[in-house]
Structure 1
Amino acid sequence: MRIGLLTEGGYPFVSGESWPWCDRLVRGLEQHEFDVYALSRSQEQEDTGWGALPPHVRRVRTAPMWTRGEETVRGGYGRRARRRFTELYERLATAVVCGGGADGAAGSASVTVSGDVTRSGDGVADGATNEADRFATALYGLAELARDEGPLGPVLRSESAVRMLERACRAPGALRTARAARVPDLLAFAAHVERALRPLSLDWYADTSPDSDGAGLGAVDLCHATSGGAAALPGLVAKRFYGVPLLVTEYGVRLRASYIAAGDAELSTPVRALLGAFHGRLATEVYRQAAVITPGNAHARRWQERCGADRAKLRTVHPGMESAPFAEIGEREEPGAPDTLVWVGHIAPSKDLISLLHAFAEIRKEEPTARLRIIGTRASDDEDGEAEAHAYLGHCKALAAQLFPDEAAGIHAVGENPVSFEELGSPEAPDLADAYGSAGVVVLSSVAEGFPVTLAEAMLCGRATVSTDVGAVVEVIGGTGLVVPPRNPRALAEACVALLRDSERRERLGAAARARALELFTVEQNIAAFRAIYLEIVSHCPVPRDAVSDEDAPVPFARPPEAHVRGRWTARRAPSAVGGPRLPGGSLGAGAPAWALRTDTAPTAHAADGDGPRGQLAGAAHGGGEADV
């Protein structure tokens, strides 16, 4: 099977946020071939380069999402093309501004964006569907325009586009906050739309050169988008033009991330309203066209359902984790230090270490020998995120020094503090698995969380946990740990004291947690789930266009199974008098005689001689800006 893996700001870049699970997925499914289509988010990310890729990654193509995009212009649009763009963009703007929202297909949901309730009540279902269809028609029309006339960047940023946005914002039925948009707001939103729709202008979909051998997303068997939003746009185009089925995986809902990013960017209220409506419409279309949607947890699943995802398409697939180093700690059956609390995670305000420190002050009153180890990493690689993490860490250290001044006598030596701050990866820091192993109790104090990786790691180590009730925490814990409300230091302290004082309960919860984690959160279960989903989707996909006769009737066995079997085989071109059309992948079309296909059964392996389909495909992949891997 040939998979087109679609990423945004992730794999194959070393600094990509989805690198670990994508790499484990690709390596675990080595019986398939992968073409990676990646959208980069910054120059720094591209400068870090790619990680080591397995040999069955055939091709990698990348495109930047952080430039202005004018560099790719082939030429100006003619009068007819400009008129066509005007019709499509007006339709897109109207669909976004007039009642656009995250729940456009849900009907009964209600989503608030910057003070506007975009949809509310069952009575708007028909209108929501009409707006969703209008948005989809405009989206695919713009994709066709980009294919026929060249990149959309210049026209999406043009003065006429801004004027069309302004007319849509002033029209009856527009979002209340959008009506207050001024020229700077419209310019900011138009720039965002251009960046978001940049994948429509890429040359990733088909290669018509004689030696292409089916290069492009139009020739893959399945598109797998690792998130919604811009990453899924190439999959939508491939499905629209070539019938390629689309699988969407979201471990963190892209729509929710766009809402948070709009708030953090200090944008004006009208721009936030427009961005929320646009991303809501895009999410609705992605979920509507996907064959299967795989959220990583129930929290993400609820978001997707509110955005209009069909429940029949949803399959929860938990992230897979390398369990070996952590499971080894659990096998030792060592209880860890009974008076030690361990916190592990990225240093960021959302982790609420302030509440944790105040809770630990209460814990020390009940358990004077208790210690707290805070083992952190940076929140992000960008300068703003690093500066925020550094400032927050400094604030936490100052608070710890205030709450727990150095003790001159008593339990601790002079200058020793019961709270320690350690940086994961530093020379003096311990191994992560050993850090979990040293804990009597592992603590999570976050106020916002997606899938709590640190909890799953602690569970694999057989450690009892105390967590705040956020994100997918309850789903992951499943009754094997204590859960308290967020931003409640007293409740957090009481739960920790209860476990510190009861060794039998800690051991019992730790054993149950380890069994649950080994069943649900390992790489093996993740790979097995996607292997089955891939086969299910492909088995239900439509007949490929190259396997249809001139009368539009299916041609059974027109694409032989050998076309997708890795190994040494030869497809001989039939003589012109009796041969049929040649199909992508090296197979022969209808009319090819049986003797034209030959399977080499010799035991000698020829992995590097260029013979067979891998050699043909690798040779055909050169050019076009892609990298051959």
Structure 2
Amino acid sequence: MRIGLVTDGGYPYANGESGPWCDRLVRGLHDHEFDVYALSRSARQERSGLVDPPPQVRRVHTAPLWAPVDDKGAYGRRERRRFAEHLGRLALAVCDERAGTDEGAGTDEGAGTDEGAGTDEGAGTFASGLYGLAELAREHGGLHAALRSETALRVLESACRAPGARRSVRGAAVADLLAFAHELERALRPLCLDWYDTEEGGLGSVDVCHATSAGPAALPGLLAKRFFGVPLLVTEYGVRLRAHYLATDAGREGPSRAPLRALLAAFHGSLAAEVYRAASLVTPGNAHARRWQERCGADRAKLRTVHPGMEAERFIEVGEGDDTGDRDTLVWVGAIEPAKDLVTLLHAFAQIRKERPRTRMRIVGAPSTTGDGPAYLAHCRALAAQLFPDEAAGAYAVGENPVSFEEAGGPESPELADAYAGAGIVVLSSAVEGFPVSLVEAMFCGRATVSTDVGAVVEVIGGTGLVVPAHNPKALADACLGLLGDDGRRRRLGAAAHSRALELFTIRQNVAAFRAAYLEIVSHTPVQRVAQAVGAGGAPLPFAAAAEVHVPVRWAARAEEALASVSAQAPASAREAVCAGAAAGAGGRDV
């Protein structure tokens, strides 16, 4: 089948955050064809270039969400009135105290046609305003300029002051409204793209649209379903709405920004709810993401958990060996940032050293490239020096600090697999975590783990490791000491973790799950994109288009190769039979 893969800041850009799993998916499903529609987030990302796609990727379409846009559109009086009406509906839904709970928002009436956008029963809701703006952009363009106009500012201000508006937005100042209009224009840019048609390469011609988040990346999928009836699949390994909340709380502090935070949160929440409602299937990467999606309105019947597949060969080799590592060595692996809570880890290790003075701690990773990563690394180094001054004498002298900070891929730890191989226990101390990649890698390596109960940790571990509360150095230390003193238990937990990782977290299971999801969606979706052929007098012409008209070109080429092979090797009677069957299947055309 033909898949339209829509990404936001990810594949096929070389430094895209969703690049690895998308690349593995595309390469694993070599019997399908993919059209990639990529939204970029920065000039730096675009300069990094694109990865070399496999043959099954037919086309790559790109569009920026970061660059200033001037479509030079100017609406007439009628278009301005339509724009104000549709934006007003969207803004009222965002500002409403009951935002995201309106019944009838964005019903499916009118889906698959060009008429009816923004006119369904849920008029006045977020969905009807969104689709109304999309229809206006398709017909006249000019949406970029309109969203930055004085008309847009007045509409937003009116919505914030309307009866029933939430208290947090009533005090929005002009600066807040201008900032919100700017963010709104950036988020709605996919409505203005030229990706929507039924010609070859357009989203209207694909069998399934697969979006990699419920944010702006899902907007093309929403429109493809709305106007052409293309089913939508949404995959989230990190819930975009949760990431938005965390980034907003970290980046915009102070009461003067509260109205802007409230407007942005309500908009992204309403957008996510509409995406989940419209999607045929939603595939969260773990139970933690699934709970977020359910709270945002996702129907449980549409949810299918698909764990991310990981490159496992180099780690599996470690897990299949007999060596269980150095029992006196604890290893932590990850990006060094405040969310990882290395302070708790260091204090826990101080307690461990009191009971087992020979124990060492290896912290393998690098500071996060954004935020407080470098400063946090410096703070952790200073804390380690304070807690563990260099020992030059004593019965258990090691001559250096028992805590080492090593850069992943550096001279001290050239390969992560080597770091896990030398571990007696792998530790995770995070205060905030999504999907714990380092734990899965440790499980592939057959290592026992001690982790904090955050994010998807319990779901990943599944009883094959020890889990303790976050921010609790004593509990973390006690769990580690229990395993350090029991080699048999460490071996049993490591072997169980290895088996669980092989069952749930390989690329093979990930690709198989998406293959099944595509088939499930297509099996419940009627074909709507083949127009009925008519004769000169307007009478319908049944069977004018053969069924194989929409078979991907690569498959047709394979059929021709097979036919040529049969013609070269089979006797004349067999060749005649094959040709007759092929001609019948092609509706009597010459083969």
- The TM-score normalised by the length of structure 1 is 0.83
Contact kept in structure 1, 2:137 and 2:192, CA below 8 Å: yes
CA distance in 1, matches of 2:122, 2:335: 40
CA distance in 1, matches of 2:39, 2:215: 11
User: What is the CA distance between 1:434 and its match in structure 2?
Assistant: 1.2
CA distance in 1, matches of 2:143, 2:395: 69
Partner of 1:83: 81
User: What is the CA distance between 1:561 and its match in structure 2?
Assistant: 6.6
CA distance in 2, matches of 1:312, 1:276: 26
Contact kept in structure 1, 2:546 and 2:587, CA below 8 Å: no
Counterpart residue type for residue 195 of structure 1 = R
Whose RCO is larger (CA < 8 A, sep 6+)? 1
Equivalent residue runs for 1:255-334 within 5 Å = 255-266=241-252, 268-334=257-323
CA distance in 2, matches of 1:130, 1:399: 61
Q: How many equivalent residue pairs?
A: 546
Specify which of 410, 413, 423 is matched with residue 394 of structure 2: 410
Equivalent residue runs for 1:7-18 within 5 Å = 7-18=7-18
Task: Check if 1:596 corresponds to 2:584.
Answer: no
Partner of 1:449: 433
Task: Check if 1:419 corresponds to 2:419.
Answer: no
Partner of 1:511: 495
Contact kept in structure 2, 1:37 and 1:60, CA below 8 Å: yes
Deviating runs (4+, > 3 A) in structure 1?
100-107, 129-133, 411-415, 547-559
SS of corresponding position for 1:177: helix
**Structure 1 308/493 Cα, relative in aligned 2: closer, same or farther at 3 Å?**
same
Task: Check if 1:169 corresponds to 2:160.
Answer: yes
- Describe the superposition over 1:548-572 as per-residue Cα deviations: whole angstroms up to 9, x where unpaired: 456999969743277225242799x
User: What is the CA distance between 1:430 and its match in structure 2?
Assistant: 2.8
**Structure 1 104/80 Cα, relative in aligned 2: closer, same or farther at 3 Å?**
closer
Partner of 2:53: 53
**Structure 1 101/427 Cα, relative in aligned 2: closer, same or farther at 3 Å?**
farther
CA distance in 1, matches of 2:134, 2:540: 25
Equivalent residue runs for 1:299-448 within 5 Å = 299-380=288-369, 384-385=370-371, 388-410=372-394, 415-448=399-432
CA distance in 1, matches of 2:329, 2:211: 42
Contact kept in structure 2, 1:444 and 1:468, CA below 8 Å: yes
Equivalent residue runs for 1:146-157 within 5 Å = 146-157=137-148
Q: RMSD between aligned alpha carbons? A: 2.4
Contact kept in structure 1, 2:368 and 2:374, CA below 8 Å: no
User: What is the CA distance between 1:75 and its match in structure 2?
Assistant: 2.8
User: What is the CA distance between 1:133 and its match in structure 2?
Assistant: 7.0
CA distance in 2, matches of 1:136, 1:422: 50
Partner of 2:221: 235
CA distance in 1, matches of 2:395, 2:149: 70
User: What is the CA distance between 1:542 and its match in structure 2?
Assistant: 2.2
Partner of 1:205: 196
Equivalent residue runs for 1:606-625 within 5 Å = none
**Structure 1 343/32 Cα, relative in aligned 2: closer, same or farther at 3 Å?**
same
Contact kept in structure 2, 1:440 and 1:463, CA below 8 Å: yes
User: What is the CA distance between 1:290 and its match in structure 2?
Assistant: 0.3
Counterpart residue type for residue 188 of structure 2 = L
User: What is the CA distance between 1:157 and its match in structure 2?
Assistant: 1.3
User: What is the CA distance between 1:535 and its match in structure 2?
Assistant: 1.1
Specify which of 536, 543, 547 is matched with residue 559 of structure 1: 547
User: What is the CA distance between 1:544 and its match in structure 2?
Assistant: 2.0
Contact kept in structure 1, 2:533 and 2:544, CA below 8 Å: no
- Describe the superposition over 1:456-513 as per-residue Cα deviations: whole angstroms up to 9, x where unpaired: 1100110000000000000000000000000001100000010011100000000111
Contact kept in structure 2, 1:33 and 1:57, CA below 8 Å: yes
Partner of 1:141: 132
User: What is the CA distance between 1:368 and its match in structure 2?
Assistant: 0.5
CA distance in 2, matches of 1:13, 1:462: 33
**Structure 1 132/469 Cα, relative in aligned 2: closer, same or farther at 3 Å?**
farther
Partner of 1:249: 235
Contact kept in structure 2, 1:4 and 1:224, CA below 8 Å: yes
**Structure 1 241/131 Cα, relative in aligned 2: closer, same or farther at 3 Å?**
closer
Contact kept in structure 2, 1:106 and 1:306, CA below 8 Å: no
Contact kept in structure 1, 2:241 and 2:269, CA below 8 Å: yes
Partner of 2:91: 93
Contact kept in structure 1, 2:341 and 2:429, CA below 8 Å: yes
User: What is the CA distance between 1:378 and its match in structure 2?
Assistant: 3.8
CA distance in 2, matches of 1:448, 1:331: 31
Specify which of 464, 477, 496 is matched with residue 448 of structure 2: 464
**Structure 1 216/469 Cα, relative in aligned 2: closer, same or farther at 3 Å?**
same
CA distance in 2, matches of 1:133, 1:256: 27
CA distance in 2, matches of 1:449, 1:105: 34
Contact kept in structure 2, 1:355 and 1:489, CA below 8 Å: yes
CA distance in 2, matches of 1:23, 1:369: 44
CA distance in 1, matches of 2:274, 2:404: 48
SS of corresponding position for 1:568: helix
Equivalent residue runs for 1:480-559 within 5 Å = 480-548=464-532, 558-559=546-547
Partner of 2:569: none
SS of corresponding position for 2:326: coil
CA distance in 2, matches of 1:79, 1:377: 57
CA distance in 2, matches of 1:179, 1:552: 58
- The TM-score normalised by the length of structure 2 is 0.88
User: What is the CA distance between 1:545 and its match in structure 2?
Assistant: 2.8
Counterpart residue type for residue 61 of structure 1 = H
CA distance in 2, matches of 1:552, 1:375: 69
- Describe the superposition over 1:408-430 as per-residue Cα deviations: whole angstroms up to 9, x where unpaired: 11356675110000111223323
Contact kept in structure 2, 1:570 and 1:597, CA below 8 Å: no
SS of corresponding position for 2:431: coil
Contact kept in structure 2, 1:156 and 1:194, CA below 8 Å: yes
